[in-house]
Homo-oligomer: A and B are copies of this chain.
Amino acid sequence: MESSKPGNTKLWLLAFFFVSSMVVNVYFYYNNSFSLASPFLRLSWTTKAATEAEIVAAIDCSEHGRAYLDGVPVNGVPMCECHNCYSGPSCSVLASNCTADATTGDAMFLEKYWLHHRINTAVLESGWHRMSYFIGHNFMSDELDKHIRLLHKAVGNAKVDDKFLVFGNGVTQLLNGVIISLSPNVTATPAAPIKKVVAYVPYYPVFKSQTKFFNFRGYEWKGNASDYVNAPNPKDYIELVTSPNNPEGLLRKSIIKGSLAVYDHATYWPHYTPIKYTSDEDIMLFALSKYSGHSGSRFGWAFVRDKAVYDKLTTYMATNSEGVSRETQLRTLKIIKEIVLQINQHKGTVGDFNEYGYTTLRNRWIKLTNLVAQSNRFSLQKLSPEYCNYFKRVRDPSPTYGWLKCEWKQDTDCSAVLQNGNILTQSGVRFEASSRYARLSLIKTQDDFNQLMERLSILVKAKQTSASEEYNYEMDRERSIERPFIYGGDQGSYGSF
């Protein structure tokens, strides 16, 4: 037989290599396409942007920073933007004894989740994408509207079917919009009584600063809601209710019965609090910043029961900024779709975004409470394990902020005590509470949290001097004179989130 000849062996060998090579060809061809859609589609005009994104993502910042596509370039490559206390071209240099920053509610603890889910949350758009003013209804994407409602149904934190939905550039923009929408237009005759805007102490400082800044003729800031509990005309009051409350994380309800209540539910999500009921208030505000951690996207939303308020709020959004950036709406859709997908597949277990957020913050809270318990210098708000309708189990506390109290008699200005110990916080005074309190943000990067714990452990272990005594609880009732909230160019003036 011919097959025994040496020439034929070579022939078969070469034929084998040829076929193998063809298989590799076919592999390369298909590998470069997206098999779910069309096996024959190959990338063309998107390759440049995709490659740029991968190059920037691969820049080494030592896990202590990150490089971004629009970072300031050094030698043509965006430089690493380092976490607090880190520096150097790859953020590898740790400054000794630098100041920890626990001021802002910048939910960067969620970044790691999104790094793991980078494939499903990537989005590519080119110059021609949605150039027009017009999208969906009232400048709002119908798909995003739908998926926000799906998210609330999957989480169970709000009843949304019977309400209108309005998008804003963060809750910040919607907040003033809602207050304006509930207030009269005082140029009309006869003028209705102007609204009194109030919040129960301690409250989110932006309520006061923003209301005073915009100084609308139809409303005025009137301070602590507890001063008006028995007001004869409760409908003249717009009561801003943060639930869970900022700073201390307790679930709240309006305290002026019959007032126009606005619920800021920015942290009413399973990361931060047990979901104890499906909220069904007339006006409810939510924010991407605290839920998914995308503070930079400036995306928030309001659920509104009343059609007249909805109409005025959409007019506010049109008049203020003609709605929300359409590219932000696209990205938010991607983020929310991924969260809902993972809830459907992994609810309450590894992979579920809510489980990730909760576990991370629970661990931080355990560490912080254990540290503070080591001496009598500080105390924290009391939070108990509670049943959560989302996880369907009792969950430990995992608050957004620590509401720290200085217990030593001489430590009357707690924020200053902490600053002397190289920790930046927000003073209780900003919340119209006592200066004995300071707010510690627990939701920033792991580096931020580690620095906070290191600096705080030194303060906790410090011995009380002979001159000092245990704190006299009578003093807690004396409110410090409020320090004015200064507007200005420094970062500190924006640190109210």
Asked whether A68 lies within 8 Å of B24 as measured between CB atoms, the reply is no
Q: Which residue of B lies closest to A18 (CB)?
A: B18
Q: Is A270 positioned at the interface, with any CB of B under 8 Å from its CB?
A: no
Residues of A311-352 whose CB lies within 8 A of B: 311-312, 314-316, 318-331, 333-335, 338
Asked whether B170 lies within 8 Å of A295 as measured between CB atoms, the reply is no
Asked whether B122 lies within 8 Å of A45 as measured between CB atoms, the reply is yes
Q: Which of B46, B50, B130, B295 contacts A296 (CB 8 A)?
A: B130
Q: Which of B11, B71, B493 contacts A315 (CB 8 A)?
A: B493
Interfacial residues, chain A to chain B (CB-CB below 8 A): 5, 7-8, 10-11, 14-15, 17-18, 21-22, 24-25, 28-29, 31-34, 37-38, 41, 43-55, 57-58, 66, 68-73, 104, 106-108, 110-111, 113-115, 117-135, 138-139, 141-144, 168-170, 172-173, 176, 180, 185-187, 206, 209-210, 212-218, 289, 293-299, 310-312, 314-316, 318-331, 333-335, 338, 487-489, 491, 493-494, 497
A33-B51, A320-B176 are contacts. A127–B133 as well, Cβ < 8 Å?
no
14 cross-chain CB contacts under 8 A: A18-B21, A21-B21, A28-B29, A34-B47, A70-B130, A70-B143, A70-B333, A108-B131, A123-B125, A133-B296, A172-B320, A217-B217, A318-B493, A325-B327
Q: How far is the CA of A52 from the CA of B46 in the complex (A)?
A: 10
State the Cβ distance, A132 to closest chain B Cβ, in Å. Answer: 5
State the Cβ distance, A89 to closest chain B Cβ, in Å. Answer: 18
Asked whether B170 lies within 8 Å of A187 as measured between CB atoms, the reply is no
Asked whether A41 lies within 8 Å of B21 as measured between CB atoms, the reply is no
Which 9 residue pairs spanning A and B have beta carbons closest together?
Answer: A121-B127, A114-B127, A34-B51, A28-B28, A49-B122, A296-B326, A46-B50, A169-B321, A21-B21
B contact residues around A310 at 8 Å (CB): 489
B contact residues around A491 at 8 Å (CB): 134
Asked whether B111 lies within 8 Å of A330 as measured between CB atoms, the reply is no
B contact residues around A130 at 8 Å (CB): 68, 70, 296
State the Cβ distance, A149 to closest chain B Cβ, in Å. Answer: 14
- Stoichiometry (number of copies): 2
Asked whether B47 lies within 8 Å of A43 as measured between CB atoms, the reply is yes
Q: Is the contact region of chain A dominated by helix, strand, or loop, or is it mixed?
A: helix
State the Cβ distance, A7 to closest chain B Cβ, in Å. Answer: 4
Q: How far is the CA of A390 from the CA of B289 in the complex (A)?
A: 43
State the Cβ distance, A319 to closest chain B Cβ, in Å. Answer: 5
State the Cβ distance, A439 to closest chain B Cβ, in Å. Answer: 16
A15-B14, A25-B21, A329-B70 are contacts. A46–B134 as well, Cβ < 8 Å?
no
Q: How far is the CA of A214 from the CA of B312 in the complex (A)?
A: 12
Asked whether B70 lies within 8 Å of A320 as measured between CB atoms, the reply is no
Asked whether B311 lies within 8 Å of A488 as measured between CB atoms, the reply is yes
State the Cβ distance, A467 to closest chain B Cβ, in Å. Answer: 40
Q: Which of B8, B45, B132, B133 contacts A54 (CB 8 A)?
A: B45
Asked whether A34 lies within 8 Å of B55 as measured between CB atoms, the reply is yes
B contact residues around A106 at 8 Å (CB): 132-134
Asked whether B322 lies within 8 Å of A170 as measured between CB atoms, the reply is yes
Q: How far is the CA of A284 from the CA of B32 in the complex (A)?
A: 48
B contact residues around A28 at 8 Å (CB): 25, 28-29, 32
B contact residues around A68 at 8 Å (CB): 129-130, 330
